[in-house]
Amino acid sequence: MKEKSNDGGSGAKDQKDLKKPVWDALKETDRREMETLATEYRGFLSQAKTERAVSDLLLEKVSQAGFVDLEAGSPVERGGWLRHHGKLLGLFMPGRDGPLGGFNLIVAHGDAPRLDLKPKCVYEDSGLGLLKSNLYGGLKKFQWLARPLAIWGFCAMKDGRHVDVRLGEGPDDPVLTITDILPHLDRKVQRDKRLSDAFPAERLNVLANSEPLAKGKGKGRVKDALLGILSKRWGLAEEDLISSELELVPAGPAREVGFDSSMIGGYGQDDRLSVFSSLKSLLAQKKPRRPIMLIIYDREEIGSYGSTGAESNFVMRLAAAALAASGLEPSWHNVQVVLARSRAISADVEAAVDPTFKEVHDDLNSGWLGHGPCLVRYTGGAGKYGASEARAEYMAQIRRIFDEAGVVWQSTLLGKQEEGGGGTVAHLLAYHGISIVDFGPPVLSMHSPFEICSKADLFMNVRAQKAFLASS
């Protein structure tokens, strides 16, 4: 039986002709480069599981490459960096042309959906020590139960010191977990409920310890034991958790996926796949024609609010610093002019068609894994609400850049109209008059603890971003 077509009769055959596997375009040297990239990328994913860790790792890499603090007043040759609140990171690379003609800008985000610990989180119940968590970003709660979790965190002490917490990643580290009810007894509390009601956020309580403190009697000894561990291990008192950012993330390294090892599975690929690609693309540039800026935002997953999110005016501050580093007046007027003349990629992963849930996509405008990164003219919801939408001329310019560089890419949209929706930071950059379009590799199981990408798409994403940054 023939599959029902939902593309209004233009036919699945045409659509297939438009989609081309990246694999067919890879030369032997490309394949070697792809494997090297993929291995490095898996290491990056496994090493940088929080927005701070992403920012720290990038800062380390660009500092090694000769980038200097843009606000230190030293001359900027290779490039400069600007960081805000230990998270939001901006990079600038001078071009052969000065900045008055605008920048080639890539923006991505380093945060990912996760569970945070609440400021007051430690408690004891039924002889067990537990921690209360708080959702961060759009995650499917049931995916986080009954699986090993690592804890990563940054604890700021009243005396100005900070303590880094990291547990659960080493092969012999203990992990934490959130328990789930056994199927024998789940009928009333889960099974007969709607999915949205079956997993209340307040039930995502983290199992932390079980052995009571040797001294004392009765209730409270397990909590006391837990507080003792926090104190002994990290020097933390219960009150210090109020000024801590403690994040629970899926434990363990990113892995190759598939019998053919053609894919990569791991946590946080939205959007660290773009972060990794953009860093590689930036550092590959040798004296680009146009100056470059790269911004790794935080807080994209909760709507870009906050001082480290894209709702802040950081892009203006970075542009001003770049102007000053280029010997130009960083005036309000100049900042506005150079931003309005800039062109940008909002680098974020896109939804790959899941063969098991095909009905959520419009076939013709859907992205297939392994068929190249996706150029998405507009995101948003039905009726283009919330979409900045790249204008036709800019789409043409991007197509030309990619095609001239031999990039295999796809033109896609998030899903069918009225199916749901989503967005990126694009509209917040468009506010400054920047030409911007969404672009990134398709990912399966997005926002889950184990997101999947294709090595071939990663490779093409780097090729595309390199070409974009080098474009004149």
Smaller CB distance to Mn ion: residue 376 or 460? 376
Smaller CB distance to Mn ion: residue 271 or 363? 271
Residues that bind Mn ion (CB under 5 A): 270-271, 348
Min dist. Cβ of residue 347 to Mn ion (A): 9
Min dist. Cβ of residue 311 to Mn ion (A): 15
Smaller CB distance to Mn ion: residue 56 or 348? 348
Min dist. Cβ of residue 422 to Mn ion (A): 7
Smaller CB distance to Mn ion: residue 52 or 223? 52
Min dist. Cβ of residue 349 to Mn ion (A): 6
Min dist. Cβ of residue 210 to Mn ion (A): 35
Min dist. Cβ of residue 335 to Mn ion (A): 27
Smaller CB distance to Mn ion: residue 62 or 273? 273
Smaller CB distance to Mn ion: residue 270 or 389? 270
Smaller CB distance to Mn ion: residue 348 or 389? 348
SS3 letters across the chain: CCCCCCCCCCCHHHHHHHCCCHHHHCCHHHHHHHHHHHHHHHHHHHHCCCHHHHHHHHHHHHHHCCEEECCCCCCCCCEEEEEECCCEEEEEECCCCCHHHCCEEEEEECCCCEEEEEEEEEEEECCEEEEEEEEECCCCHHHHCCCCEEEEEEEECCCCCEEEEEECCCCCCCCEEECCCCHHHCHHHHHCCCHHHHCCHHHCEEEEECCCCCCCCCCCHHHHHHHHHHHHHHCCCHHHHHHEEEEEEECCCCEEECCCCCEEEECCHHHHHHHHHHHHHHHCCCCCCCCEEEEEECCHHHCCCCCCCCCCCHHHHHHHHHHHHCCCCCCHHHHHHHHHCCEEEEECCEEECCHHHHHHCCHHHCECCCCCCEEECCCECHHHCCCCCCCHHHHHHHHHHHHHCCCCCEECCCCCCCCCCECCCHHHHHCCCCEEEEEECEEECCCCCCEEEEHHHHHHHHHHHHHHHHCC
Smaller CB distance to Mn ion: residue 245 or 271? 271
